Amino acid sequence: MSCSLRLRAVKNNTSEGNNMPKMKTHRGASKRFKLKPSGVIKRSCAYKNHKANGQIKSRKRKRNLMKGGYLAPSDAKFIRKMIVR
């Protein structure tokens, strides 16, 4: 066995143990949801982009769609795993 192969084998079998791979953030979820410091997850409202002209959606309806809201606790458990830091 050559010297470089022995060094690679030693590096891979370190005494620190085999670390699990890092949890990666789900990029789609990170763009749609924000985690507030209090632990609540903020979301935006659906149905606000398509057919937003005056005949389909009123001004009041579009204004209320801009506000957004918070996720239900049952949904928040699943989304929190996707947006870990």
In tens, the pLDDT along 37-55 reads 998 999 999 888 888 887 8
CATH fold of 25-85 reads Factor Xa Inhibitor (4.10.410)
Q: How many CB atoms lie within 10 A of CB 65?
A: 16
**Can you list the pairs that 71-80 forms with residues at least 24 positions away whose Cβ atoms lie under 8 Å?**
71/33, 71/40, 71/41, 71/42, 71/43, 76/40, 76/41, 79/29, 79/33, 79/41, 80/35, 80/41
Contact 66, 28 (CB under 8 A): no
Write down the pLDDT at residue 43: 93
C-alpha span between 81 and 79 (Å, rounded): 5
Q: Name the residue with higher pLDDT: 63 or 3.
A: 63
Q: What is the pTM of this model?
A: 0.63
Q: State the pLDDT at residue 55.
A: 82
Mean pLDDT computed over 67-84 = 90
Q: What is the pLDDT of residue 2?
A: 58
Which among 72, 77, 84 has a CA at the least distance from the CA of 26?
84
